[in-house]
């Protein structure tokens, strides 16, 4: 088993959730953070321009993530609701 699903409470901006796991006699500590990045709002347009718009959204998110602190790794990108201004990304602090 490589993964364990643990529901986290809603994290406010700049909060870090710490999780400590004990397996046998070995303890591991994990830190999680949810960040919100600007998300371009939906546009009503033709299919071709909608594809272009989706590409712009992905490029903007990719640019934001590339500039993020590299001591954190991406765990999950949440699906934004229609009309959302932000997209949320779950990060975990890399183990040293």
- Transcribe 28-49 into DSSP letters: EEEEEEEEEEE-PPP----HHH
Please compute the mean of the pLDDT values over residues 72-93 and round it to a whole number: 88
Residue 11: inside a domain, yes or no?
no
Q: pTM for this one?
A: 0.74
DSSP string for residues in 4-29: -----PPPPTT--EEEEEEETTEEEE
- Residue 2 maps to a domain: no
| pLDDT score for 73 | 93
**45 contacts: CB under 8 Å, gap ≥ 6:** 53
The rounded percent of the chain whose pLDDT value lies above 90 is: 18
Residue 1 domain-assigned (yes or no):
no
When divided into structural domains, the chain yields a total of 1
Residue from 70, 65, 83, 73 nearest 32 by CA? 73
Domain that holds residue 79: 17-93
Q: Classify residue 53: in a domain, yes or no.
A: yes
Which pLDDT band holds residue 42 (cuts at 50, 70, 90)?
A: low
């Amino acid at each position: 088993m490589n993964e364990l699903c643990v529901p986290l409470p809603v994290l406010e901006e700049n909060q870090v959730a710490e999780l400590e796991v004990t397996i046998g006699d070995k303890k591991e500590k994990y830190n999680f953070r949810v960040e919100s990045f600007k998300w371009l709002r939906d546009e009503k347009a033709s299919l071709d321009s909608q594809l272009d718009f989706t590409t712009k959204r992905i490029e903007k998110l990719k640019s934001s993530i590339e500039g993020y602190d590299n001591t954190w790794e991406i765990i999950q990108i949440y699906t934004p609701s229609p009309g959302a201004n932000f997209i949320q990304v779950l990060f975990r602090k890399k183990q040293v």
